[in-house]
Structure 1
Amino acid sequence: MLKSFALGFGLLTFPAVALAGGPPAKPASAAAPAAVDAAHSAPRVQIALLLDTSSSMDGLIDQARRQLWTVVNTFAKARRGTQLAQLEIALYEYGKSSLSSEGGYIRQIVPFTTDLDKVSEELFGLKTNGGDEYCGMVIQKATRNLEWSKNKNDLKLIYIAGNEPFTQGSVSYQSAIADAKERGITVNTIHCGSANEGASTGWAAAAQLASGQALNIDQNKAVVHIAAPQDDEIAKLGRELNKTYVGYGSKGAEAKMRQEAQDTNAAASAGSATTRAVSKASRMYDNSGWDLVDGTKKGAVKLEEMKEEELPAELKGKNADERKAYVDAKAKERADIQGRIQKLQSEREKFVAEKQKAAASAAGGDSLDKAIIESASKQAAAQGMALE
């Protein structure tokens, strides 16, 4: 049972490595990112994380919570040609005895979503206890129940993490992986332990069959945060961004509270407040479903057509021109703050890169951040997509 899962999304940078193969990318036109499987929709990166939440998983869950935002940042520049890609994340848990035995001790936590605060909220809500770990079954459920893109050129990845034998349960991993491959999904295995142990318990064989990567991490490796002079200012600006969000409709108030709560959660660990702020200053942090600034920009809502009861308190009683002027002012304020964060982040990356060079010789075993980023870079390249 997994003891630690270093979902290392700290501001670490790893080189993208191209793999041979993969179909040539077709140029895509700029359509709305929400267009699902349309011929001209934006390229999509879909990542399903399957997390073992049995008794020994507390380290895994803690690091997953604290390090979410770096993976997001890694995909901020994902593109095919000149067209930026949309990142969607799904979460499953498996191996917890409090889950339904009839369902194989498996639960879909979040279907594919671009709502990153929701993903963070659910990670912070996870609890662990003992159970049985059915790898084949959870892969099968994720393959069949998630809304995977039908575009063969989109990047579709499953990462399953654990350290118990891969062969448990009534669904063979061979049949589950065959099902995934038929849908163009690459399964990567993350064994927390030595490569020899992973090979002897089926993790390496499963990845090989899936044409994925067999990754091994040191489950006890501490997540290292390299403090930089820019950290405090970046985190402060990240909190200031919240003032530029204008919630609307039934989801607005709840989503704004979630945003504040995830800021608080991130602030509890070194580096997470910085990486979250960088995410909030990027295109990946899209809240068009509840925020009027993103919503009007993305065409999800039309200010002039909104009913009075749908408006936030600050816009009630205002005419269409006054609404537009208010939202435009918030959009400008947000863009200014995001620009300041991005400038500071550029300076921070240079500082951290130098520190990483100096610390490279002292590094221990791999952590999940390096494993995911390097493997995703390779598999993205095989699909004609770059992360840098």
Structure 2
Amino acid sequence: MYDKSMIKFLDLESINRRFDRHFKDSFDKFLKQSWIVLSDELKSFEHNFANYLGVKHCIGVGNGLDALEIVLECWNIGAGDEVIVPANTYIATWLAITRVGAVPIPVEPDISTFNIDPERIEERVTDKTKAILVVHLYGLPCEMNKIKQIANKYSLKILEDAAQAHGASANGVRCGNLGDAAAFSFYPGKNLGCLGDGGAISTNDDILARKARLTRNYGSELKYYNDIPGRNSRLDELQASFLNCKLPYLNADNNHRNMIASVYMQNIKEGVNIRLPGKPISEYYHAWHLFVILCPFSDQLSDYLRGMNIQTMKHYPLPPYKQKAYAGLHIDPEMYPVSNFIHDNCLSLPIGPTVTSEQALYVCACINEFSSQIC
């Protein structure tokens, strides 16, 4: 029987404590090295993660936003260009587009998947469109077959924002190998997270890979000789070593997330006040970075659960097109009713490799109790 102690939304200490000995060994090894960037640990992780994804190249960079931005930059996407993007996503996806000077063209999500609706993409394509930036939101792969058909029809690049989709797959192919290139974040709360900031680019494109490697390191392959105007965005040796420790456990952790998601799906009573996420089709493997329900009383539900020692979060309370940062784009929020509905009603429940089935069942019982009371 669960003792009703606090259920943290994200218990990073417990998650990382499992690797305590590995981390300490990695740190000791790190201290003995003379190189702390672009050395053996990074090369090892890039090789390991590329093999895991099934791609030719992995390029470690400073963070997930840099990964997105570097790819767009290497594709020469900039001023005057448009990039198709989900209306409902974290703002970093949009920031990458605007930071290279291009314009984000938002597309509504499918309410059952939370992902960009492929049926709505083609109507937003113009002669200025250069790419489709998909987000495998919450860990569920997008419907890539339909999206690829549109991309091929209009000769568009496909960039995957896979920041929440480490280990997710569609038809046996992992996210990160479903488009022309992908960007990953290794922020500590991710399914594969380091102990600081970190990111990576994955691709099968040799030309893009070389240019991305140049770009992340001041445009240089040989020290003090710079082939292109680059930047400083490198996944450091220490974070790469921590990721090497955690990567072999990613599949098991994702399977545990799937188990917790199944507990929620089977025990939370869906109804007028609670909407569960859509069940992924059998060919898709959901990484369940987040488990998001929809509730018209989400703020009250969050307060109620907090009183029952259950932490929750909203991912995300405000869509990019409503942020002050993008007031200059003059986007009419009324054009995005599905996205508005998701952002207004979403609530993320605790899910992760250290959440227990007993805790999940307690969360379900509390939600069901709240739902019965609100009726």
Using structure 1 for the length normalisation, give the TM-score: 0.27
